[in-house]
Every structure is written in C-alpha cells, then in structure tokens.
Amino acid sequence: MEEHKGNQKNPEEIKNGQNKEEPTVILKQAEYLGLLEEVKKGKESWDKMLRNQADLENTRKRLDREKQEFVKFANEGLILDLLNVLDDLERTVDLAETGKKEDLSAFLKGIEMILAHLYEMLKNHGVKPIEGEGKIFDPNFHEALMQVENKDLPEHTIIEVLQKGYLIHGRVLRTAKVKVSKQSAK
C-alpha cells in the first residue's frame, strides 16, 4: 500500500494563504482509485447532461419552427374551400352583369346555391349555427340585446335572432345576438 505524505503546515498558515503548497491527503490506494473512478463517472455524466441540454434546446427550436409553419398553413383547407365559394360568387356577378335586368330569379337562385355551398363548407369544418328562436335564453350561447314584454311566452324565451351565433367543434365561436321575452310588470 502506497501512502502520500507531505510537509504538514500550520492550519493558520494555510488559512491565511501563507502556504505555497497544497496540503497532502493520505489515502489508501483502493480509496484513491475509487475516487478516480467516481471523478471519471462524474465527468461522463456532466458531458452527457450537456449533450442532453443541447439536444433539448435543438428539439425546442425545431418544434417552434414546426409550430410556426403549422400555424402559417393551418387554414389552407378552409381557404381552398372559400376560393370555390368566391369563384361561384364571381360567376354569379358576371351572369347578373351580362344577363337581362329582369332575370332576378336566376340571380337569386345563384346566390341561394352559393349560400348552400358555404353552409356545407362550414359544416365540413366543424362549424354549426347555435339554435335560437323559441329556445330558452342561455348566456353561454346567447347575448341578449333586447327584452320585449310578451305574456304569451315564458320569460327568457328567445323571440328573434338578430345575428346568428356559431359553434366550432362544440365550442362557441360567436354568441347569437337575440331578442328575449320578459313578463309584463304588474
């Protein structure tokens, strides 16, 4: 067994920085080799941690780029469907401009077809209208703009939908603006 010994200095000299040599520690060879192995493992772990941190940062940056790309083109399918509706509108306007002024029914029929196409497109994208007229007012889906006295209807019944509301995949996209009944004050 090999022992390492050195000059022993006064602890006060070491504390005050007067000792130019570092103190020597005496260890058994097995303990010394064990410490060297632990230092080696510590360095390997440190290097692995630094690599993992770099990988994590690179992954985060890649995910940010992919997210930006996704958001940028997320509405591509919707826009393509809207372009079809736009084409229909342009054809209808061209027909109305070149056709006879008296042929209002054909123009109206074209507009109705475009509306049907637009409603179908919205349905395909998970959008549906909120039920209103005749239903009981629900502040989660409706916004009351007016109250009208009506003794024939229960209180808080929707009399008229002033602006349609819509759900997208079951979540409110826009509340319905409604006129609601109230009982007459007696």
The residue among 3 and 29 whose pLDDT is bigger is 29
Mean pLDDT within 14-34: 80
Q: Which CATH number is associated with domain 129-182?
A: 2.30.22.10
Instruction: Read off the pTM.
Output: 0.58
Query: What pLDDT does 185 receive?
Result: 66
CA distances from 184 to 22, 63, 83 (A): 97, 60, 50
Most confident of the ranges 46-50, 88-92, 120-124, 130-134: 46-50
For 144-164, how does the pLDDT look when each residue is reduced to its tens digit (9 = 90+)?
998 988 888 888 899 999 999
**Distance, CA of 72 to CA of 21 (rounded, Å):** 65
For 54-111, how does the pLDDT look when each residue is reduced to its tens digit (9 = 90+)?
999 999 999 999 999 998 888 888 888 888 888 888 888 777 777 666 677 777 888 8
Six-digit token string for 29: 């060879």
With a cut of 70, say whether residue 165 has pLDDT above it.
yes
Instruction: Tell me if 178 sits within 8 A of 145, measured CB to CB.
Output: yes
For 25-54, how does the pLDDT look when each residue is reduced to its tens digit (9 = 90+)?
898 999 999 999 999 999 999 999 999 999
With a cut of 50, say whether residue 2 has pLDDT above it.
no
**Distance, CA of 30 to CA of 55 (rounded, Å):** 37
**Distance, CA of 147 to CA of 182 (rounded, Å):** 6
The residue among 104 and 131 whose pLDDT is bigger is 131
Q: How far is CA 36 from the centre of its chain?
A: 50
